[in-house]
Amino acid sequence: MRWFYVSAGFIINLCLGAIYSYSVLQVHLRKLFENDYGIKVTATQMQVPYLIFLALFSFSMPLAGKLIEKYGIQKIGIIGGALLSLAWFSSSFAKSPLELYVLYGVIGGIGVGMVYNSTVTTITIWFPQKRGLAIGITLMGFGISAAIISPLIDILAYNYGISQTLRIVGITFFILISLLFYFFRLPKNSEKINNKDTSDENYKEILKSPSFYGLWISFTTANIVGLTAIGISKQVGLEIVSNSTMQEREISKILTLLMIPFAICNGIGRPLFGWLTEKLTPKPTITLSFSSIIISIIFLYTTKSLSSYIIAFCVFWLNLGGWMAIAPTTTAMIFGLNNYSTKYGIVFTAYGIGAITGNLLAGITKDLTASYLNVFPILTVILLISLILSHMLLKYPKS
């Protein structure tokens, strides 16, 4: 029965991960605003709904955790799914980016936070063993979503228009998420599992623990690097091949197609690093993750070739996906299962901080140096500092 939750969670997270298709979605929405409503919009205005979505997704996680503890997995999952579906459906009526800030960003972000926390908590409690692998497989749906949803949005938008596409997606998400969450339950012995956990700290107590800050700093750093890479993947590719003899349209097409293997790497990283976290324990896994990113940055920055770009960005996307499994698995291993949904909700605020910091850092670097590539030496320094701090602060409990 518990593997049903993994399969169902995978499908649910496939819906949640549609946020990573926003770069495709905003192209169609911008055309709608300018051509149908006569509103001139800037790139920054169109990027704000995405940032609001990611921020609300992250910062709603602790609240979602408290609601889960009070009302249960099933109710909060269904309500969150309804909010996410409403966000997509109601966005079809938006006539300006400002309306998208609320309809897509705020409502959608809160909805995803509730559903995401519900799926992670369910899998974490159902799998006292093989937890990292099970969480990783479940969240793989989030990672590969862009590879499936992005072309689907394009096809629907060109055939039915973006407004109708948003309604179709919203209704589909509501049916899928509600139906699957209807069957969600926690094991009857979940209380016993909690009581047996040797590191069963109260969620308020983790804020006093050095291990929390070691994990939170590392997770923030991983999101700064990963979400920066996702946000500027195509722009960096264009810089790398700027001196190529290929036509601009051909280059753009190739770089867009590369988003598919990047998204697949993001998906694969979740079960891979979830499994490694359990096998190696958190510290070696964090070292492996950050070291591979640093090596890839050096390779990319020194060679600046298309091949190094592809390899480096596969590693970046792989590790961002990996941290979506490292963080929840480590939270359970160190801080226990009691009040887990709230504990992980607090840890997950790192995602929002990373999203905001990373996007701002990339934009400022581009404005000051005229190149997105120059953000990578800065990211290397942040990674090294974070790696040192994680080893100083993170303590794995004795069994």
Whether 12 contacts 141, CB under 8 Å = yes
DSSP code of residue 128: S
Name, in order, each residue with C-beta under 8 angstroms of 135's C-beta and a sequence gap of 6 or more. 120, 123, 124, 127, 270, 274, 325, 328, 329
Residue count of the chain: 399
pLDDT in tens, 276-335: 999 999 999 999 999 999 999 999 999 999 999 999 999 999 999 999 999 999 999 999
Q: What's the mean pLDDT when you consider all of the chain?
A: 90
Query: Mean pLDDT over residues 364-368, rounded?
Result: 89
Question: C-alpha angle 28/34/35, rounded to 5°?
Answer: 85
H/E run at residue 75: helix 73-91
Q: How many CB atoms lie within 10 A of CB 245?
A: 5
Top-ranked range on mean pLDDT: pick from 203-207, 288-292, 391-395: 288-292
Q: How many CB atoms lie within 10 A of CB 232?
A: 22
In the chain the domains, ranked by start, together with CATH numbers, are: 1-187 (1.20.1250.20), 197-399 (1.20.1250.20)
Report the pLDDT value the prediction gives residue 398, as an integer from 0 to 100: 56
Q: Residue 184 pLDDT more than 50?
A: yes
Name, in order, each residue with C-beta under 8 angstroms of 284's C-beta and a sequence gap of 6 or more. none
pLDDT in tens, 236-290: 888 898 877 677 677 777 887 888 899 899 999 999 999 999 999 999 999 999 9
- Token code pair at residue 56: 């609300």
CA distance 169 to 214: 39
